[in-house]
Each structure stands twice: as structure tokens, then as C-alpha cells.
Amino acid sequence: MYQYNQVDQQIVHERVEQFRDQTRRYLAGELSADEFLALRLMNGLYIQRQAPMLRVAIPYGLMSAEQMRMLAHIARKYDKGYGHFTTRTNIQFNWPKLEEVPDILAELATVQMHAIQTSGNCIRNTTTDHFAGVAENELEDPRPWCEIIRQWSTLHPEFAYLPRKFKIAVTGSKEDRAASQVHDIGLHLVQNAEGEVGFEVLVGGGLGRTPVIGKVIREFLPKEDLLSYLDAILRVYNLKGRRDNKYKARIKILVEALGIDTFRDLVEAEWQYTRDTELKLTAEEIARVKGFFTPHAYEPSAKDDVSLDQQLEADADFRVWFERNTRAHKVAGYRCVVVSLKPLLGPPGDITDLQMDVVADLADRYSFSEIRSTHDQNLVLAEVRQADLYAVWKVLSEHNLARANINTLTDMIVCPGFDFCSLANAKTLNISDAINAEFENLDYLYDLGDIQLNMSGCINACGHHHVGHIGILGVDKKGEDWYQITLGGSGREDASLGKVLGKSVAADEVPSVLRKILETYIEQRTEEERFLDTVRRVGLTPFKEKVYAADH
């Protein structure tokens, strides 16, 4: 895990004091609300429907147990005792007092954390696979490359005021758990015919009002050219991206307008100016950063454990949790544990201060003091000996963190919606509660298999509804909440955008509509066929006929 040097620490501390003075001036009336707006956004501070909201950066979803304890402390001291993990693997605090935000940032700085570039028209937190470095089929650990991008992009003077926000994801496996194809830039570690490892580069993906799957701009980019090529893409976007309409300002709009071939030509031309400059990564610099991500000291004897099989045989609840909430590790004798932040009748992605402390303690004891946050709003203890799984499960169960629902219908991605967000048109948390109440039978969910349900409270799509197997979009109709359903989306390696099923449905109808959709799936599926595959094979018509039968 990367550790700050003296310069890193000084920059973060100075940024805190700078924002402290800006906040003082605003509260004293020396800065207008408009003048303060850009300054607070640069430091992750939003003004939401109920109160300010502070978004704290968790670079590529990796944090230490010490950092998690600090987040718990912040939740207790400055908020209402909880935080909310987002699809960019950051954490949000929904109730801080404006005048106390500089104090929060100062405390975060003591554990090498900050809120820089978690908002604003800049390069945001780079994300990756939450199993990076431990996945069995991984070509290479993408986290060092995320860190290289983080160091290059943080406080980059040329890209501090882009036409719109900019998001990058990096993956090192054929399995895409980072939704890289719906990012402004998606980077895939690949191997060419000569056996060299480099990057496939995608550009122009995104969701929101105009959902687009990213397009390949370069099939193979040598590693040493990563920063210079990213720089060229950003320069073209910065020069030619629209600034007259924020809804048309993302890079996806520019790529669609120019066409990928023309955009590629512009990038290649720009790249020639910087390809052989100081942006070229040296072998020494790559090795330096990779040195922070060396494998842990795994115990060779871990693979010899026989207690796990005995515990799986003796405890059915543990066996179900093991099957749903743990994943294979590349080192024999270890497993990755997914900590579910999707409890029954609880806001998806929320975690209390006590639960944060519990996870931190488990990380210290069983997972080399590291924790990962995931794109789908859960946590991961990635390095647990299989002999310790039963003990970990017992503690998680005691603190409502072991619901065995990973990759089921109730493992939903959900934005906070109208209850918190000033941009939202409709509530989401009440709908997720209603879905949980309707589908609380886990055996039924297991029979359905893997289903990704994503829900957003507005067209900005923070809940990634476009790429859910089932997507739900909240819309406002004359002051009432209605919900549009889409089917067939995916944010994985087989990325696709969902198609609208039909007219929107009232809030109280959402659970019954989902029931009809799932009944249709059961009727239509072939043996072992996934929900997404069934939708793609039979199309929307059978689902539409079932849901809207009374209208025909």
C-alpha cells in the first residue's frame, strides 16, 4: 500500500489550511456563495438537500485499518455515526457542519487521507478491481498503475478546470469488476503477440443523460507511454470539449461528435509533442511504485488447513455465507471475504462507526491490516487464511455485516436519492427497502442466481442503472415518484446498456413488477442460464407482456 513521503504529507496539510482560511472568509461574508462554490468542490464538499456532504477519497478503493478507524472517528465526532460508500469506492459523510469541515480534513490528513478532487471538473479518483493483486486469473496487478495515475493527476494545473469531471478505471483481469467500459477512459492490461504487457485504451464511455459504451482508441499502449498518452487525450478534450452546456461537456459527447477515428487522429498528433518527454515512465519509477504493492508474507502452511471443511460440514449458515460471500485467492489456503453492506432494510452502502471499527479490527487480525471498498458498495478483506474464515464470519454476523447476498438481487447498487441529494428527482432508499421486504427469502434469491440490480434517483445515474441487469430510474411526475425499468444492461466485460421495458410504474408497484420480471425469467430460462443471458436471448417482449398484461 502506498505511503506518503514528506512532500505528499506537506501538500495535504497545506491544502487543509488553505481551505480552512477559505471557509473562514466565506462564513465571515468575505466570499460570496458563488466564489466559495468552486473552492469547496475542490475539497469534496457539496451542499445537499439536508446538510453539507463531504466526500473523502479512497484511492482505488484501498485503505488501511488505521484509516478505517479514523473514518469511524469522523462519523462519531462530526456526523451522525455512519458513512456511505459510493460506486467510486469513496466514502461520504452526509451531516457535517460546514464550519467543522476543515477540522475533519485536518484529522484525515494525519492518516494520509483527504478529499482533494472528489468533486469538480477535474480527474477524479481512479478506480480498479476490488480483487486486484489477488485474483487468480489476473495478468498483472493494476494498483501500481492507479497510483502512478493518482500522483500524476492530483493537483495537475492543466487539468484542474476541464469541461467536465473525468473518470479513469484500470483493470488487470479479463473479468471487469470496475465498470471500465463506462468510464471516460478505461485501461485494460493486456499482452500483445510478442508477450509484452501494456494497455488497451478505451475512451468516451459514460452514463448519465447520454449513456455510452467506451470505444477502443488504442489496442496496445506500451507501459512507459501511459502518462504521455493520457496527457494527450486530456489535452484534446480540454481544448475541444464543450463548455457552453454542462450536459454536453463530457468527453463521450466529443468522441461521438467527432467519431472515434478523428478523435484518435487528434490524440496521436498531440501525443507526438509529449511522448518522449519527462512523461515517459522509466523502469526505475515503475519499480519504485510497484514496490509499495509487493505480495504479503503468506503462510505456506495455510493450504494444509483441514478445519475449513469440517466447519463447512458442521454449520449450514457458515457454508452458505462461504459460498456467496467469499472468493478464490491466487494463493492456496487464502480466501477473499466480501463484507456485505446490504443488510435487510438498511441503506445500501451505509456503515456505522461501530461497524467500521469492527472491520478495522478484523483487518488487523486476519487480513494484513488492509481493507478494500468496491464499485458495488461493499467492502473486502482480501487476504484471509481459510482457517480463519469461521472466526471472521462469526464477528461479521454479530455486527450485521454477513448477510449472504453477494451478487443476488438484494446486493443492489443504490444512490442516496431524494432523501439526501439535491439533484435527485425521486427517492430510492424506500424502494430498496420495499424490494428487500418482497425478496427476503434468500433461498429464492439463490435459485435466481446472479442478478445485478442498480437504482438511481435521477438521470445523472450515480446508481449506474443503465448497466444493471435490472435498472431502476426514479422520475418525477407531477410531484409523485415513478420508476422506469430497464433490462439487459451490464457493467462487466460484456458491457451493454439496458433497454427500457415500458412505461414507468408507481412506487408501490415496483416490488410486484420485479416479481413478474423474475417469474418470467424462471419460465423462460434454460438450465443454468443466467438472468442476463435469458434477457438477451428472448428479448423484452415476454417480460413486457407479463408486466403490462392488464394494459393489453
Cell numbers describing residue 175: 473479468
Task: Write out pLDDT tens, residues 445-480.
Answer: 999 999 999 999 999 999 999 999 999 999 999 999
551: pLDDT strictly greater than 90: no
User: What percent of the chain is modeled with pLDDT above 70?
Assistant: 99
pTM greater than 0.85: yes
Residue 14: CB atoms within 10 A of its CB come to 11
Give the 3-state secondary structure of residue 483: strand
534: pLDDT strictly greater than 70: yes
Contacts of 343 (CB under 8 A, 6+ apart): 400, 401, 403
For the chain, the first-to-last Cα distance in angstroms comes to 58
pLDDT for 167 equals 98
Average pLDDT, the chain: 97
Amino acid at 101: V
pLDDT interval class at 327 (50, 70, 90): very high
Task: Write out pLDDT tens, residues 56-108.
Answer: 999 999 999 999 999 999 999 999 999 999 999 999 999 999 999 999 999 99
**Pick from 255, 171, 177: nearest CA to 216:** 255
232: pLDDT strictly greater than 80: yes
Amino acid at 404: A
**Pick from 459, 462, 511, 442: nearest CA to 84:** 462
Amino acid at 385: R
Nearest-angstrom CA–CA distance, 516 and 498: 18
pLDDT for 537 equals 98
Residue 480: CB atoms within 10 A of its CB come to 10
Nearest-angstrom CA–CA distance, 425 and 310: 51
Placement of cell 442516496 in the chain: 416
Tell me the helix, strand and coil percentages in the chain, rounded to 5: 45, 20, 40
Cell numbers describing residue 482: 415513478
pLDDT for 254 equals 98
**Pick from 241, 35, 258, 259: nearest CA to 121:** 241
Contact between 283 and 314 (Cβ < 8 Å)? no
Beta bridge partners of 173: none
pLDDT interval class at 505 (50, 70, 90): very high
Task: Write out pLDDT tens, residues 102-131.
Answer: 999 999 999 999 999 999 999 999 999 999
pLDDT interval class at 29 (50, 70, 90): very high
Averaged over 474-491, what is the pLDDT?
A: 97
Contacts of 224 (CB under 8 A, 6+ apart): 280, 281, 282, 283, 286
What is the per-residue burial (b if ≥16 Cβ within 10 Å, else e) of 529-549? Answer: eebbbbbeeeebebbbebbee
Nearest-angstrom CA–CA distance, 390 and 371: 18
Tell me, what DSSP letter sits at residue 399?
A: T
Task: Write out pLDDT tens, residues 407-427.
Answer: 999 999 999 999 999 999 999
Placement of cell 482505488 in the chain: 60
Residue-range domains of the chain with CATH: 6-109 (3.30.70), 127-292 (3.30.413.10), 300-398 (3.90.480.20), 413-551 (3.30.413.10)
Averaged over 8-31, what is the pLDDT?
A: 98
550: pLDDT strictly greater than 90: no
136: pLDDT strictly greater than 60: yes
Averaged over 141-156, what is the pLDDT?
A: 98
DSSP 268-290: HHHHHHHTTSTTSPPHHHHHHHH
